[in-house]
Chain A
């Protein structure tokens, strides 16, 4: 089936929906999502969204900018970070005007709380910068934006899987999508495509991410000629529920929660004397694992305690209601009386499709645009998070850059007409699906996925070193080989999860290779990338973005791009 829209947005999380709202009033736009829109993973964001409103105490955007730059371990592009933080207060007021039900101060303003790495006066002490709606901030923003889209009668293609981009002469003209309910292919012809497909934490065994977070948009764009950037930077959030990886928001520590080792000691005092438990996530995750290595994990195991018992029932049941519930349901722990067992969990991908601050996908270090193709949100790398993202900056990123991409696409579509589609645009995708469905290979996806997630967790997570990374790269490539012999057992065409799992696995194998290659290439430690064989940051050699280009013959190829530094020169990162 064929459809035509000025703009196709892939992904119905915050970045995609914010772009849709920007375009919806006067542009024909369709939003395509592999899950129903409100199931998007933005909804799992808990603690808050950062903006220097100064509602609770003095704050300004320069402090927010400094914190973001320092949090990024100086790898974030400072021109883009400045756009992000300066636009933050406007973004919050816009959300509030759309109806987002933020918590309030006693005098009726938007309430704010402390979050990791956010400080006053360039690192002096924690500052209350996170705007929040209890600990379901992402969920209420997602609902509000989706409902605004309903009001604007924006067309949704829910439960449609992106299969490929229609590209000819270096320009994107739309997408091919697979309808889950019917198994039919659809051609969506457009003047612009925005990829807002989110992260790919499912590459790892322990993750806070949804099953849907498999990086489809990135892998498809990569193979179609887009560049991936800084893929080795993977955020492990320090407080995932032990064994499960379900997130316990940083807001728990923002409200006063304390990490303790098996001696009951508040160990973050030693590692980050100024801001302690509110140090950035990369540091806290490493500190937890250092404690475990030193034999101070709880019961000699690989977890520590997150102690909220002193916060009181009122705070837990109101400001941290969701995570309190998670602890009760999944750990069987009553957080009012007992500490929660936590360990680092794969949470966020700093890397992504290289894009500029207007959402344009770029293909090289000279910022040459991929015409007609845009990216925003977690799947993109602008880069505002550099080597480590601060909590509260991802929701902000999706909204600021989703809106900007929307504006840029509106400008673009008024300057061009629809290009004719190539003949039979669905052909390749149809052939790929047929090959999978008819394959009589002797492999199934389940074990390949499990082995992938295990090797990435063991060798390419918080601490890395050459030998492990080399083993991981070999293993991933071996799995890619086995994937060629995969067979689909479900031969049906209605909600065929077997087929979709296999398609997603292909993307995950591709991205795992790129992450590992980047980690092996970067011989230094910066932000979330911690090489035990290169423990120091090396600005002389490595203050550069790692860029990846896809070659069909030779796989991913690495090159580099300078970092943009405007206001803050790199210095040692201490908290």
Chain B
């Protein structure tokens, strides 16, 4: 069937302003949106740029605005949309456009880096594995599904007014390490997130959770950080 694709274009070498270009694509209902973009590029316009790699929602390359909503282009099929076979494809919001649908993700990964996204332990590791309660692993397991696609952070309304706000993805990673029983830096991690640029920046608007292509309870995970911060405070007050 014939589908119309209206695609955001911007080439910094030529364009002063972004523009939209229309393509007609013969697509099957089961084609992914990524397949349609590939058809455009391979059959009509090789100058169109976008990122992609695994094509099944695990590498996190192809989060885009599809019909006004953030989705992975490889995880949405033509039949998933009730838009009379019309599609508008735009880059992720929030981030600076490099070319067409390719955005600069560096600020996203810079924030990721600041939450110290690695295990910190002041204990010497045992000869075998650290034992971990399976309930503890289950507690933070939903956060492990994150593919760093940036959809949540791009969607988050708080990020638009406060560019210092860590954003949902970095906070989710923060939660993953705060919650991991093997990590001994919990106190300093919580202290680092205990401010308006950290966990308290989240106003529970749920947009991150709503767009997450991996169905991660992002908002709830941030709420867990808030809860743990409060518990830590209580513990300290009780102890002093």
Contacts and interface: CB of A to CB of B under 8 A. Distances in A.
B59 A39 contact: yes
B47 A147 contact: no
A107 B56 contact: no
A489 interface: yes
A148 B52 CA distance: 25
Interface in A391-414: none
Contact of A106 (B13, B50, B129, B134): B134
Nearest to B137: A104
Contacts of B48: 497
A98 interface: yes
B134 A108 contact: yes
A101 B61 contact: no
A105 B128 CA distance: 14
Contact of B145 (A92, A97, A321): A321
Interface stretch (A132-140, A417-425, A521-529, A535-543): A132-140
A35 B59 contact: yes
Contacts of A53: 128
A148 B54 CA distance: 23
Nearest to A446: B42
Interface in B38-53: 41-43, 46-53
Interface in A302-342: 318, 321-322, 325-326, 329-330, 332
Interface string B65-77: 0000000000101
A140 B142 CA distance: 12
B94 interface: no
A210 B54 contact: yes
B18 interface: no
Contacts of A488: 46
A104 B135 CA distance: 9
B59 A490 contact: no
A18 interface: no
Contacts of B117: 147, 150
B55 A139 contact: no
Contact of B13 (A44, A321, A494): A494
A41 B54 contact: yes
A38 B131 contact: no
A494 B97 CA distance: 12
B56 A330 contact: yes
A498 B131 contact: no
Interface stretch (B98-106, B160-168, B188-196): B98-106
Given A36-B105, A41-B59, A43-B58, A99 B180 contact: yes
B114 to A, nearest CB: 10
Contacts of B137: 101-104
Contact of B53 (A35, A93, A136, A332): A35
B22 interface: no
Interface residues of B, number: 59
Nearest to A145: B118
B98 A495 contact: yes
B54 A39 contact: yes
B81 to A, nearest CB: 14
A553 to B, nearest CB: 33
Contacts of B102: 495
B11 A498 contact: no
A210 B145 contact: no
Nearest to A149: B118
Interface string A70-100: 0000000000000000000000110011110
Nearest to B142: A321
B118 A136 contact: no
A567 interface: no
Interface in B8-23: 11-14
Given A134-B144, A147-B117, 7 more contacts: A35-B51, A38-B60, A97-B129, A98-B119, A102-B137, A494-B12, A498-B46
A101 B42 contact: no
Contacts of B174: none
9 contacts: A38-B147, A44-B59, A99-B182, A101-B144, A150-B113, A151-B116, A210-B54, A329-B77, A497-B48
B59 A136 contact: no
Interface string B129-162: 1111110011011001101100000000000000
Contact of A104 (B58, B99, B134): B134
Contact of A329 (B14, B57, B61, B119): B57
B125 interface: yes
A212 B144 contact: no
Contacts of A495: 49, 98-100, 102
Contacts of A444: 46
Contacts of A489: 46-47
A301 interface: no
A122 interface: no
Nearest to A38: B148
Nearest to A110: B129
B118 A148 contact: yes
A336 to B, nearest CB: 16
Given A181-B98, A494-B11, A108 B132 contact: yes
A96 B129 contact: yes
Interface string A489-503: 110111111100000
Please name the 6 residue pairs, one residue from A and one from B, whose CB atoms are nearest each other, closest first: A99-B119, A108-B131, A498-B46, A495-B49, A446-B42, A104-B134
A39 B61 contact: yes
A449 to B, nearest CB: 8
Contacts of A181: 98
Contacts of A490: 46-47
B47 A498 contact: yes
A101 B98 contact: no
B47 A492 contact: yes
Contacts of B113: 150
A568 interface: no
A476 interface: no
B54 A494 contact: no
A44 B98 contact: no
B53 A211 contact: yes
Q: Name, among A36, A111, A326, A332, the residue most crowded by chain B CB atoms within 10 Å (CB to CB).
A: A36
Contacts of A150: 113, 117-118
A109 interface: yes
Given A133-B144, A147-B118, A494-B12, A43 B130 contact: no
A505 to B, nearest CB: 12
B61 A35 contact: yes
Contacts of B52: 211
Given A39-B59, A103-B134, A104-B134, A136 B119 contact: no
